[in-house]
Amino acid sequence: MLPRRHGIFGLTAGAALALALALGGCSDSNYQAAPKADRDPSAAKGGLFAPGGSGANLFTGDARKGGSEGNIAVNAFLWRASLDTIAFMPLASADPFGGVIITDWYAPPETPDERFKVNVYILGRMLRADGLKVSVFRQQRTAGNWNDVNVGPEVATEFENAVLSQARELRLRATAQDN
């Protein structure tokens, strides 16, 4: 018997189509950029975590000493794009200060005997390709037990590219609204 050929995430064709449709629906045509004070730390006023507040910026350093400014320590566009891209999967954990998003296991309805989990790590405040790392995990159920299955590195790269494209689109929309 020949092994089945699988596409993205090692999915069958039907499951890959459902996953592609779910990812394609992640763009929001009614997107509104956050107020300028939320995007531009120099526009923020007061508060414990804002520059000019108490003087200490708990999560991102002291702005007067060259530390980053803002309310989260990672790039906001990468953060939002990551959440948008994995919106079809249940979240297990999301830490905007550490830049870590962990999903719970997700089983596509077309293939209930396989499931996927994604970990997203946002590594900095810059919108750059090397500021994002994605790990994808896959399991198959055989004889009632879930067994780990290898996922090719191209799957994580495709996922990262989808997040980066969405982040660039969000940034362009935000820039266009400022003009």
Q: Hey, what are 88's tokens?
A: 């079809």
* Residue 87 DSSP label: T
Asked if residues 92 and 137 have their Cβ atoms less than 8 Å apart, the reply is no
pLDDT of 9 reads 52
* CA–CA distance, 150 with 2 (Å, rounded to integer): 18
CA distance 69 to 81: 21
Question: How far apart, in whole angstroms, are the C-alpha atoms of residue 78 and residue 165?
Answer: 10
Q: What are phi and psi of 45, to 5 degrees?
A: -130, 130
Q: Which residues of the chain have pLDDT under 70?
A: 1-72
Encode pLDDT of 72-124 as tens digits.
679 999 999 999 999 999 999 999 999 999 999 999 999 999 999 999 999 98
pTM: 0.62
List the domains of the chain with CATH numbers.
Answer: 72-178 (3.30.530)
